[in-house]
Amino acid sequence: MGQHTAENLTAGIDVGSAGVKVVVARSRAGADGDLLSTSLQRIRRRELLEVVEAAFAEALAAAGVRARDLDYVATTGEADAVEFRSGHFYNMTTHARGAVFLVPEATAAVDVGALHARAIKMDPRGKVLAHRMTSQCASGTGQFLENIARYLGVSLEDVGDLSSRSEQPEAVSSICAVLAETDVINMVSRGVRTEDILKGIHLSVAGRLVQLVRGVGAAGVVAVTGGLSQDVGLLAAMREQLASGGGRKRSALQLLDVEFVSHPQAVYAGAIGAALLGAWRCEHLKRRGEEAGAPARA
């Protein structure tokens, strides 16, 4: 591992259900740190360890550093395959920390992952104050939207733009992903336009996300993170649902002044948070005269 200096060179590895995200960051004591590189590798049908190794190697190469130069390797998510880690952080904590790094004015975050979506309320340091998560069967996740896109024959990258062209969104009422997909099949058989189906799906997902945000009592800027953070159609639907009360009467709306904001690197929020927390822990260990303890790598 790297020699102890005033700087800490750290890597954050976020192992999710659909992909592995890695960032390399350089931090100084009392400073927030600079991102040197990022890497995203989809898991798909590959072995998880293979994906982790590929993403880690890509991030190191992009940063122009070697594994042995790192002072700390921090993981988050389902990171059992990362045997060379220095330490592990709970993913709710890393996502909150990463969200604040990317959107400093954020008081809450909505993380939309492949299998789960959650809202996190945090303080300016990224400390988690409250959180809410969707159930496993709720149709408010990235995998659900990807399944719908695959059935409709469109790429996930095009979903947002197509949804934005909708003129008559088709409502999807089911909270069960399986039943919602059945609704979509029926829509296709009735000749409903793809744009209107996707906008209806977005509004359905957005309604659940707004309810999560309401549940944590968020106010002000809410950072949108995770795999769907760059979906312009979903972001637009979230703002629409917020304005309409998320399916409730306006008098029942508790979110008085919420603004949804994304960031180009929002998919890396968990990995960023892990890298920054790793730097903090590394600095803490230095002050105690201890080593981080991760095995050296070539």
- Per-residue pLDDT tens over the stretch 42-80: 988 789 999 999 999 999 999 999 999 999 999 999 988
Q: Is residue 293 part of a domain?
A: no
pLDDT tens digits, one per residue of 14-48 = 998 889 999 999 987 656 779 999 999 998 878 99
Is residue 206 domain-shared with residue 73, that is, in the same domain? no
Q: List the domain range (segments joined by +) for residue 202.
A: 104-262
Same domain, 157 and 247: yes
Query: Cα separation of 292 and 74, whole Å?
Result: 10
Q: Give helix then strand counts, H and E, for the chain.
A: 8, 10
Quote the tokens at residue 19: 């992909």
- Verify that 28 and 130 share a domain, yes or no: no
Say how many residues make up the chain: 298
Question: For residue 97, is it within any domain?
Answer: no
pLDDT in tens, 147-161: 888 889 998 889 999
For the CA atoms of the chain, what is the radius of gyration?
20
- Output phi, psi for 70, to 5 deg: -75, 140
**Amino acid identity of 90?**
Y
Residues 161 and 182 in one domain: yes
Task: Flag whether 143 is in a domain.
Answer: yes
Domains: count for the chain: 2
Do 275 and 254 share a structural domain? no
In terms of domains, do 118 and 252 share one?
Answer: yes
Rounded to whole angstroms, how far apart are CA atoms 282 and 276?
A: 10
User: Tell me, what's the pLDDT at 136?
Assistant: 54
Contact yes or no for 268/38 (Cβ under 8 A): yes
106-115, 129-138, 209-218, 255-264: lowest mean pLDDT where? 129-138
The better pLDDT of the pair 116, 107 is held by 107
> Whole-angstrom Cα distance, residue 99 to residue 263?
9
Is residue 138 in some structural domain? yes
Burial of 123 (0-12, 13-18, 19+ CB in 10 A): exposed
| Whether 36 and 146 share a structural domain | no
d(CA 120, CA 180): 26
Residue 247 is assigned to a structural domain of this protein: yes
Entry pTM: 0.88
Are 109 and 236 in a shared domain? yes
Would you tell me the crossing angle of helices 194-215 and 177-189 to the nearest 10 degrees? 160
Report how far apart, in Å, the C-alpha atoms of 101 and of each of 32, 70, 175, 203 are.
8, 21, 33, 28
Same domain, 131 and 277: no
- Rounded distance between C-alpha atoms, residue 3 and residue 19, angstroms: 31
Same domain, 257 and 275: no
Greatest mean pLDDT among 139-143, 233-237, 294-298: 233-237
Mean pLDDT (the chain, rounded): 86
Are residues 244 and 138 part of one domain?
yes
Instruction: Please indicate, yes or no, whether residues 135 and 67 belong to a single structural domain of this protein.
Output: no
Cα 12 to Cα 280: distance, rounded to the nearest angstrom: 12
Q: How confident is the model at residue 292 (pLDDT cuts 50, 70, 90)?
A: low
> Residue 179 has what DSSP assignment?
H
Q: How far is CA 252 from CA 171, 238, 241, 242, 247, in A?
A: 22, 17, 13, 12, 10
172 occurs within a structural domain: yes
- Contacts of residue 267, defined as CB under 8 A and 6 or more positions apart, other chains included, come to 21, 40, 225, 226, 227, 229, 230
Domain with residue 62: its CATH number is 3.30.420.40
Q: Is 296 contained in some domain?
A: no
- Does residue 108 lie within any of the structural domains? yes
Phi then psi dihedrals of residue 219, to 5 deg: -150, 150
Place of tokens 């890695």: 22
Residue given tokens 């976020």 in the structure block: 14
Report yes or no: 82 and 55 within 8 Å, Cβ to Cβ: no
